Structure 1
Amino acid sequence: MTESEWFEQLFNRLSHSKFRSRFHLKQKDKEYIQTKGMDTIEKHAIDFVEKRLAPAYIPNDGKQTPFKGHPIFIAQHATGCCCRQCLYKWHKIKPNQPLGPRQMAYIVKVLMTWIHKEVD
């Protein structure tokens, strides 16, 4: 399966989740993205993934991602990239192991793909 096929299936599955599909960027989130620019938003995504998802053990796993306050937080919930349990359920990334560079890059790509879909 190619990456584009995987992404198509992933976003299709997410769209059928009552919980995941309710997340959308508000106007103030879109304005924040426009003000900061996509490169900065992607840097924020990288930082959040490294600090909040990459460690093997996260003391507050399942509660580390706020539901508002930054567009990336919204994207994390919308895409199942909010905690290690959701990463396993939606992306088959095993918990209790540190994330590698390829896994972190994949998560950032998922988040930024969702962000692009929301602002376009």
Structure 2
Amino acid sequence: MPDSLDQRLDTIARHPFRAKFHLRGRERVTAELSGPSTMRWHAYDLIAKRLAPAEPYKDGKQTPYRGHPVFVAQHATATCCRTCLQRWHDIPKGRELSREERAYVVDVICRWIEREVESTAGEGRE
């Protein structure tokens, strides 16, 4: 599955708006210090509250641009709102996300964070 996830992430990253997002500053440090399992737990929690309902509160505006690595990842991976989920991931609006869909969204977010942390690991630290 990582190969297909990576291919999907590469495709999304070619979109100019999505390509602007990277982990920087506090969000990067949070991701590095928290580690993958904590990031995954946070992603599950945030997706359950903000994206999984059939009609999320303030859909289209519910995901901040900064403040947590998962928020940055959601914009970078087009998992920020139900419209983007439908457009980029073929997950329809108007119904609650299934358990499998929630797991997929979390996998996408966590893989993006993992790639971000790996991509600049060690830069500027010699």
1:1-120 correspondence runs (5 A): 3-120=1-118
Q: Runs ≥4 in structure 1, deviation > 6 angstroms?
A: none
Q: One-letter code of the match for 1:26?
A: R
Instruction: Return the structure number with greater relative CO, CA threshold 8 A, min gap 6.
Output: 2
Q: One-letter code of the match for 2:57?
A: P
Q: TM-score, normalised by structure 2?
A: 0.88
Q: TM-score, normalised by structure 1?
A: 0.92
Contact 2:31–2:113 (8 Å) recurs in 1:
no
Structure 1 unmatched runs, 5+: none
Aligned-pair RMSD on alpha carbons? 1.2
Deviations 1:36-92 (A, max 9, x none): 222111110000010001100123100000000000000000000000000001100
* Count of matched residue pairs: 118
Contact 2:50–2:57 (8 Å) recurs in 1:
no
Question: Structure 2: how far apart are the matches of 1:28 and 1:49?
Answer: 21
Identity of aligned residues (%): 42
